[in-house]
Protein backbone atom coordinates (compact mmCIF):
# COMPACT_ATOMS: atom_id res chain seq x y z
CA UNK A 1 0.00 0.00 0.00
CA UNK A 2 1.37 3.38 -0.99
CA UNK A 3 1.32 6.02 1.73
CA UNK A 4 -0.42 9.27 0.88
CA UNK A 5 1.51 12.47 1.39
CA UNK A 6 0.15 16.00 1.57
CA UNK A 7 1.64 19.20 0.22
CA UNK A 8 2.41 21.78 2.91
CA UNK A 9 2.41 25.47 2.04
CA UNK A 10 5.07 27.33 4.09
CA UNK A 11 2.83 30.42 4.22
CA UNK A 12 -0.01 28.50 5.91
CA UNK A 13 2.05 26.06 7.99
CA UNK A 14 3.06 28.32 10.90
CA UNK A 15 0.38 28.27 13.65
CA UNK A 16 -1.53 25.50 11.88
CA UNK A 17 -3.32 22.83 13.95
CA UNK A 18 -2.68 19.07 13.74
CA UNK A 19 -4.03 15.89 15.34
CA UNK A 20 -1.87 12.83 15.98
CA UNK A 21 -3.31 9.62 14.54
CA UNK A 22 -1.95 7.59 17.49
CA UNK A 23 -1.71 9.90 20.54
CA UNK A 24 0.85 9.26 23.27
CA UNK A 25 1.07 10.77 26.77
CA UNK A 26 -2.38 12.34 26.28
CA UNK A 27 -0.85 14.49 23.53
CA UNK A 28 -3.23 14.44 20.60
CA UNK A 29 -3.54 18.07 19.46
CA UNK A 30 -0.58 20.12 18.28
CA UNK A 31 0.20 23.59 16.92
CA UNK A 32 3.13 24.38 14.62
CA UNK A 33 5.15 26.94 16.59
CA UNK A 34 8.32 27.27 14.51
CA UNK A 35 9.69 26.49 11.05
CA UNK A 36 13.38 25.65 10.69
CA UNK A 37 14.74 26.37 7.23
CA UNK A 38 17.75 24.78 5.52
CA UNK A 39 20.79 26.94 4.87
CA UNK A 40 21.17 25.78 1.28
CA UNK A 41 20.96 28.33 -1.54
CA UNK A 42 17.38 27.18 -2.13
CA UNK A 43 15.70 27.43 1.26
CA UNK A 44 13.26 24.68 2.17
CA UNK A 45 11.64 23.76 5.46
CA UNK A 46 13.89 21.19 7.09
CA UNK A 47 12.33 20.78 10.54
CA UNK A 48 9.06 21.76 12.22
CA UNK A 49 8.57 22.51 15.92
CA UNK A 50 5.24 21.25 17.27
CA UNK A 51 3.76 22.32 20.59
CA UNK A 52 1.42 19.90 22.37
CA UNK A 53 -1.74 21.70 23.48
CA UNK A 54 -2.31 19.47 26.55
CA UNK A 55 1.20 19.38 28.05
CA UNK A 56 2.86 22.40 26.36
CA UNK A 57 5.77 20.09 25.45
CA UNK A 58 7.69 21.02 22.30
CA UNK A 59 9.06 18.52 19.83
CA UNK A 60 10.98 18.73 16.57
CA UNK A 61 9.86 16.76 13.53
CA UNK A 62 11.26 16.32 10.09
CA UNK A 63 9.04 17.96 7.48
CA UNK A 64 8.32 14.55 5.96
CA UNK A 65 6.84 13.28 9.25
CA UNK A 66 4.15 15.97 9.30
CA UNK A 67 3.34 15.26 5.64
CA UNK A 68 2.72 11.57 6.38
CA UNK A 69 -1.05 10.98 6.66
CA UNK A 70 -0.48 7.86 8.76
CA UNK A 71 1.04 10.02 11.55
CA UNK A 72 -0.88 13.33 11.53
CA UNK A 73 -4.09 14.79 10.17
CA UNK A 74 -4.70 18.48 9.52
CA UNK A 75 -6.91 20.31 12.01
CA UNK A 76 -8.18 19.15 15.40
CA UNK A 77 -10.39 16.08 15.45
Residue 4's alpha-carbon distances to 18, 44, 47, 73, in angstroms, are 16, 21, 20, 11
Work out the average pLDDT over 37-53. 90
Domain membership of residue 16 (yes or no) is yes
What is the count of structural domains for the chain? Answer: 1
The confidence score (pLDDT) of residue 6 equals: 65
Which residue range forms the structural domain that includes residue 68? 10-36+46-74
Distance CA 35, CA 63 (A): 9
What would the mean pLDDT of 20-31 be, rounded to a whole number? 94
Question: Is 29 inside any structural domain?
Answer: yes
DSSP secondary structure letter of residue 71: T
Q: Is residue 65 part of a domain?
A: yes
Whether 58 is in a domain gets the answer yes
Inside any domain, residue 21: yes
Tell me the pTM: 0.83
Query: Is residue 2 in some structural domain?
Result: no
CA angle (9, 14, 20) in 5-degree steps: 90
- pLDDT at residue 62 is higher than 70: yes
Amino acid sequence: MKLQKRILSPKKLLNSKWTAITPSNKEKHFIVTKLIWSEAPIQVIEMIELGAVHSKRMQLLLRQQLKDVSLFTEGWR
